[in-house]
Amino acid sequence: MDELVDIILDYVRREYTDYAIMINGEWGSGKTYFWENKVRNKIESLELNGKQYKTIYMSLYGISNLEEISKKLFMETTQMMNKSLKKYMETNPGATIPEYAKTGLDMANLFGVNQLNEKLDYANLFNIEDKVLCFDDLERANVDVIDVLGYINNFVEHDHIKTIIICNEKELANKLKNSNVEMKTFIATYILDKEGKFGTDAILEKPMVDLIQDKVEYIFDKANDYERIKEKLIGETFEYIPEFSYIINGLLMRYESNKELMRFLRENTPIIVSTFNKTGTRNLRILKHALNDFEKIYENVKKANENISNEILQSLLIFTIAISFEIKAGKVTKNKFVDISSNEEYKIILTASNKTKDNTQFYLKEFDNNYYFNTKYVYRFFKFVEIYVRTRIFDMRVFTREMADIDKTTKKSGTLGYERILSEEYWRIPDEDFDKVIYNTLELVRSGKLELINYVKLFIYFNYFHTKGLLREDISSIKNQFMAGMNLASVNAEYYPDANEYLSDFAGVETYADVDEVIAYFTIINGQLKEKAYKENAEELISLITKKPESFLNVLVNDYSQEPILAYCDPEIVFEKLLKIPNPDLVLFTQIVSDRINNKELYKEEYKCYKVLKQKIDKYIKGKVKNVKLVLLDDLSQVIPETKSKKV
């Protein structure tokens, strides 16, 4: 981000320019915030050739004619601006002209502030030689974009005014393409009919829909017009990629007056960033609204239960951000969540989604896998939050019922157990409860009933407690209990594909030999579980080759594009099944194998499978009279290198 600031300042410092620069980025990604907080003040601190530059920021949102732009520039620069308006502008840096002031100008016209009864030409009334112009929201103007850029070009090319344009080119392209669709389609259809393309004897070289679309693009090629004027006007376009840590820090500053909330948000910034990244957007505006909603949620929750667990608050934070993006970013229709009444029902639906093809249930499973995958949270759905985000109504009846349910569930799960160590700061545990928490946790550790990953996390805490003198038992004895418990837990455990990332929360904890030993032991067990899981998955994958070849190829491409699943497949069985699949599917399989071989990491893992497969193919086709199947098998053999060390 600092590099982009330097580039903009270099542009402003140049003595002569005849082009503007463009900052392109998604809606809500913080482009305007970037201008206001990173760029504007630095430009205004520059003094070049004896001139102190000033900036003029102008949103084009809703602008319906070019005169409105001139009027805004006039208001920003004219010496006629009254003292009240000047004071307003000085105390609100970067503010736009208030509507009352613009209305006042129109009234001045009406009552004679004009020349020879003609309307004022605002474009002739302002001087911007010592200004840097910033035009924002180009794609949201209600004027033809081509006309707006032509207007701006007058400042840039003829007057050499430093000009920065902020926009979302993706939305701009959609706007150019989709404006007046009905009218364009009607005219294109009329012309095609006159050309005899739709007659009874006409032979269509393309489907009718494609013919109409081609004609629309030929007649109304606004996109090309835009590219031409952009090439003339814009010297450089820069992609704005927000520096999330900086921007999120700015978002959190607004909660400084609420010290407790501020501390919670600061401590859980990694959760905010992680959940935001999982939304798949860069819309910081929605994140800002979600955090505002969470402020109200947090205050009500703490008021209802001052000792609410940190785990519940963290899950609330995740859910508030997640559901805000799912609803407000237009990812889903709001009714996806309407019929879910409780966290218990949410969990039942997730379980049922394995056995049904209901689209809503499939969506909820994807939602849960995306935002809560590999997390420890038991409570993952909050009805009062869903209602608040969807309707803006904070339903106190639902809130009270749900808080009672949370309290009941928390007590049932045993808050004096290991959850209090994993989900809360240890200093929150009262002194009189601490020994009991340790005792209960060690009982569970020895029983083998904990999740395998939690053995590592808990031992890191126990090792820390030992260094602080909080444990009476020797750390070596405790370590042996943990490792014995891990052995028992591994019988029913599942492979953790993201174990390293899952343990990253503890990356800052000082490690010791005992901790390293426990982590190493977990890694060995997890590796064994990986082997087991991959072999089971490979068997399922192989079974699809002849039963559902299309599904086999889709799973291989979509689910295992970066996973060496073929290393766990029996190549002889793969070969036998390949003989039975349709030729088109064999062609696709060959292409997939070629792509996987070009991935050096995958090829290294899967080499043995390819080697045997190549040997089986070569032996099978040798001496046979060629047919299409044999030729395709030979093509597959040819894409497999002869040796493991051969460069691919």
The Cα–Cα gap between 619 and 231 comes to 60
Alpha carbon distance 528, 533 (integer Å):
9
Which residue pairs from 541-547 have beta carbons closer than 8 angstroms and sit at least 24 positions apart in sequence?
A: 541/565, 541/569, 542/569, 542/570, 542/573, 542/574, 542/577, 545/574, 545/577, 545/578, 545/580, 545/581, 546/577, 546/580, 546/581
The residue that leads in pLDDT, 332 or 380, is 380
pLDDT of residue 116: 45
Neighbours of 477 (CB within 10 A): 10
pLDDT score at 173: 67
The stretch 38-64 carries a mean pLDDT of 83
Average pLDDT over residues 198-211: 62
pLDDT of 201 over the 50 cut? yes
CATH number of the domain at 2-175, please?
3.40.50
pLDDT at 294 over 90: yes
10-19, 125-134, 405-414: which range is least confident on average?
405-414
Q: What is the DSSP string of 361-391?
A: HHHHHHHHHHHHTT---S----HHHHHHHHH
pLDDT attached to residue 313? 93
Q: How far is CA 228 from CA 135, 162, 222, 272, 510, in A?
A: 19, 20, 10, 42, 59
Say if strands 20-24 and 162-167 run parallel, antiparallel, or are unpaired: parallel
Name the least confident of 130-144, 149-163, 181-195, 574-588: 181-195
**Cα(419)–Cα(57) distance, rounded to whole angstroms?**
52
Q: Are 106 and 187 in contact (CB under 8 A)?
A: no
Token digits for 524?
A: 């060995």
> Using N-to-C axis directions, what is the helix angle for 359-372 and 269-278, rounded to 10°?
140
Instruction: List, for residues 421-450, the tens digit of each pLDDT value.
Output: 775 567 767 788 888 888 888 998 999 988
Q: Which residue has the tokens 């928490």?
A: 437
Share of residues in the chain with pLDDT > 70 (%) = 75
Rounded to an integer, the average pLDDT of 202-219 is 66
Please state the rounded mean pLDDT for residues 378-392. 91
**Stretch among 88-92, 101-105, 143-147, 286-290 having the lowest mean pLDDT:** 101-105
Q: What's residue 357's pLDDT?
A: 44
> Residue 309: its pLDDT value, please?
85
Question: Which residues have C-beta within 8 Å of that of residue 199, sequence separation ≥ 6?
Answer: none
pLDDT surpassing 80 at residue 184: no
* Per-residue model confidence (pLDDT) at position 349: 78
Write out pLDDT tens, residues 501-553: 656 555 445 557 888 889 889 989 988 888 888 888 788 888 877 778 777 88
- pLDDT category at 350 given cuts 50, 70, 90 is confident
Pick the more confident residue, 580 or 410: 580
> Token pair for residue 202?
């006409």
Residue 297's Cα: distance from chain center in Å? Answer: 23
CA–CA distances in Å: residue 271 to residues 12, 247, 328, 371, 411: 39, 15, 20, 10, 25
125 pLDDT exceeds 70? no
Query: What contacts 26, CB < 8 A, 6 or more positions away?
Result: 168, 170, 281, 282, 283
Q: Quick one: pLDDT at residue 39?
A: 87
List 59's β-bridge partners, or say none: 136
Average pLDDT in the chain: 78
Q: Are 139 and 145 contacting, i.e. CB atoms less than 8 angstroms apart?
A: yes
Check if the beta carbon of residue 284 is closer than 8 Å to that of residue 33: yes
**pLDDT above 90 for 177:** no
Rounded distance, CA 243 to CA 225, Å? 33
